[in-house]
Amino acid sequence: MTDQADTVEAVRWQGNRLQLLDQRVLPQEVAYLSYGDVDAVAGAIRDMVVRGAPAIGITAAYGIVLAARARFAQSPDGWKPAIEADLQTLAASRPTAVNLFWAIERMRELMADIDGNPESTLLAAARRIHDDDIAANRRMGELGAALIETPCAILTHCNAGALATGGYGTALGVVRAGFAAGKITHVYADETRPWMQGARLTAWEMVQEGIPVTLQAEGAAAHLMKQGKVGWVIVGSDRIAANGDVVNKIGTYGLAVLARHHGVKFMVVAPASTVDMGITCGDDVTIEQRSPDEVLYLTGQRIAAVGAEAWNPAFDVTPAALVDAIVTERGVVLNPDAERMRAMMERA
């Protein structure tokens, strides 16, 4: 069985250019798009060519390499102040994913100490961010799988797999590790409207690896839980507040409410870079509002009555009180609150 998490890369650097797997056309087509300038990279993040908080952060780091190359060529002595406009362009591409801002700040701090041409130093840093993410995902896979005591099926929402990260995945990293250990027997995947990440991406990843997967409409989740068919809900996150509130793809909050009612455990898997200790709770997070057309249309065809409006928040906030476990590469936080989150983040 091929480990698709290793053979398919959402983000890669090749031939001095950034290449992104175009996730808008999966699973019908596996196509990479090549980028040589930072404005195009920001557009790729905004337009969902690449998505998933860790993958967005890695993409931004490589985008800064491209920006530094161009700015240094224009003005070897003035590239540092000039590049700030490029960093702002990247920051504006997706306002909710904290990994984006984490990567930008990490690269900005590094730039302050660079003398001469910055490209090689920044490229090495971007590659470290990429490699560290893969290593963190594998560690989270082990930690998350260890929480599952009895073999069971799990339910997941959106896509938190290799396609959303540097490789291996967060929530799906736990699935990979758990399936290999005989702890996870089956995956139920929500379709995840309106971008259908569950249908197009999660189901595809699971099929590639021979992990049994069943797709369902979001509205089927309550009935599935009522029948006792899943033991855990396992999801990723785009931002986690200091108190353990979780910001993730719209629909996650509803799953957490359903899970608590039906006695199903709820696990959130995300790298420590997703934890934003600068915000007290999830209500402090700016929730990205995307185009109503994403709801009103499907594959270019209008599916809603003409004259109807649409509300399209990309994310929602799941209160920490509904979360049984947060898993990062630094460790596991059970029943998260501000004190437990702070202790986890202080670990080396």
Q: Among residues 22, 86, 133, 238, which one is catalytic?
A: 238
- 174 neighbors 166 (Cβ within 8 angstroms): no
CB count in 10 Å sphere of residue 215:
17
d(CA 259, CA 319): 13
Reported as half-sphere exposure (CB side, CA atoms, 13 A), residue 145 has a value of: 21
Closest CA to 59 of 71, 70, 72, 46: 46
In the sheet where 239-241 sits, what is the strand order? Answer: 275-276, 239-241, 246-249, 315-318
Rg of the chain taking only CA atoms, in angstroms: 20
CB count in 10 Å sphere of residue 120:
11
The angle formed by the CA atoms of residues 71, 9 and 52, to the nearest 5 degrees, is: 75
Residue 245: active-site member: no
The helix (run of H) or strand (run of E) holding residue 251 is none
d(CA 157, CA 234): 8
CB count in 10 Å sphere of residue 289:
12
d(CA 154, CA 61): 33
- 206 neighbors 187 (Cβ within 8 angstroms): yes
- 3 neighbors 172 (Cβ within 8 angstroms): no
Q: Among all chains, which residue has been given the structure tokens 């209008």?
A: 302
d(CA 346, CA 348): 6
Torsion of the alpha carbons at 219, 220, 225 and 229, rounded to the nearest 10: -160
In the 8-state DSSP scheme, what is residue 96? S
Residues with catalytic roles: 238
